[in-house]
Amino acid sequence: MIGPSMLRKGKVLVDLGKLRNLEVGLGEVSRRFGEELGRQLDAGAAADLAVDLLVPPAFHRRFGREARTRKIRAHHRLLPVGGEYDVWHELHQDSSLRPASRRSRLLLTIHDLNFLYEKEPAKARRLLQRLQRKVDRSTVVTAISQFTANEVRAHLHLKGRPIEVIPNGVPDVSAAPALRPAFLPKGRPFLFTVCHLTAKKNVHVLLDLAKLASDRLFVLAGDRETPYGRMLARRIEDERIPNVLLPGKVSDEEKNWLHQSAEGFLFPSLYEGFGLPVVEAMSCGKPVFTSRATALPEIAGDGGFFFKTFEPAGMEKTLREGLDAFHADPVGCAERARRNASRFRWDATVRRYLDLYRRLAGLPVPTARTGEAIVVKSRMLQLCRSDRSVPYCSPSPFSSVRPCRPLRPLRP
């Protein structure tokens, strides 16, 4: 009899290089993915796989007993990473690391194509060409939302490769360790947002909203030392908006407390491939006010309230009506928000990736999910061969939003 230890193991490397910056969403995704992957490996959920995690030196040996960590070295920026792997999982499309072995099957995860909206046409074209080369090298492409998958099909040539939508997981922060921030005054209802403060987050529209909703405090958390963050600070001071706090970065515990205690969460972002803070707020049963741009309607689902305009009066109307609706049925609205958030669980996300690793390594998928995997693969191939009449970018419902660059997709 052949024991489990004598069976061939599929060798997998997962690139977690984005851990070097935990202040942004990609760093948080990499950390949560590594933690859940390590937990499942330690629990024996993938005895048929040998998984290495490529990490910054500060994260060496941080992800359990079974997942071996390899340190990213300076020379890896120029030279390929050695080792024979059946599967190389690039968890984000911007990585500069690459495998030495051309036999490794590349699993490429694409989070967004925001550069099409943010960069000048020449720079956007170069980035699109670089991403196309990665797609050409890949065996399978995954996207974190249906919106991103549609963008990929519209702008890149998949050449028959399957693309599968595997959403990010989001932790339930409703019962997570929490700490009340010292900067917050007591006894006043507040609205909350947290993000990396850059122009695409569109946080400046909340300043004019705060002037109309002067009975509430607005807490805008994020790195205030970015150029956009400094602009927000100047406006708050110059225009004397006393009910807006710009505290800068907050700890995980402080962020959890703000999510748990806020009257509502505000997220007027223009470009998102997913929208992790939206789901975090919903896991606490909070009303979320967000834009209809890019992936946000898909992620917020029926638990969100959507700004119809970024004009202050229109935003104030949406906020007031949404809060009134929530207060009229707090139990039902909170349950709807939590139900929507429960669609995005890290344990389910990692299980789907473990099955993908097995398929790419030529190993059988566990019986309980074999049928599901076959159905998913068939559907992926059907999607890739279907009519490609997806618009090159989703039209924005807001006249103030800069339209997508008129780039042609990279088709031969």
pLDDT tens digit string along 238-271? 999 999 999 999 999 999 999 999 999 999 999 9
Q: Based on the domain organization, do 198 and 274 belong to the same domain?
A: yes
Pairing of strands 87-90, 68-71: unpaired
Band (79; pLDDT cuts 50, 70, 90): confident
Quick check: 386 pLDDT over 50?
no
Domain boundary among 341, 370, 405: 341
- Assign 387 to helix, strand or coil: coil
Q: Based on the domain organization, do 311 and 278 belong to the same domain?
A: yes
CA atoms of 26 and 147, how far apart (whole Å): 18
Mean pLDDT of the chain: 87
Report the residue count for the chain: 412
Sheet holding 244-248, edge to edge: 244-248, 217-221, 190-194, 264-267, 288-290, 304-306
- Assign 393 to helix, strand or coil: coil
For residue 12, which of 47, 73, 71, 53 has the smallest C-alpha distance? 53
Q: Based on the domain organization, do 15 and 142 belong to the same domain?
A: yes
- For 29-95, the DSSP string reads HHHHHHHHHHHHHHTTTTTTEEEEEEE-GGGTT-S-SSSEEEE--GGGGTSPBPS--SEEEESSTT-
Q: Based on the domain organization, do 67 and 109 belong to the same domain?
A: yes
Quick check: 408 pLDDT over 80?
no
Q: Is residue 26 part of a domain?
A: yes
What pLDDT, on the 0 to 100 scale, is given for residue 287?
A: 97
Quick check: 137 pLDDT over 70?
yes
Q: Based on the domain organization, do 355 and 331 belong to the same domain?
A: no
Report pTM. Answer: 0.84
Q: Is residue 313 part of a domain?
A: yes
What pLDDT, on the 0 to 100 scale, is given for residue 24?
A: 77
Range of the domain at 126: 7-169+345-385
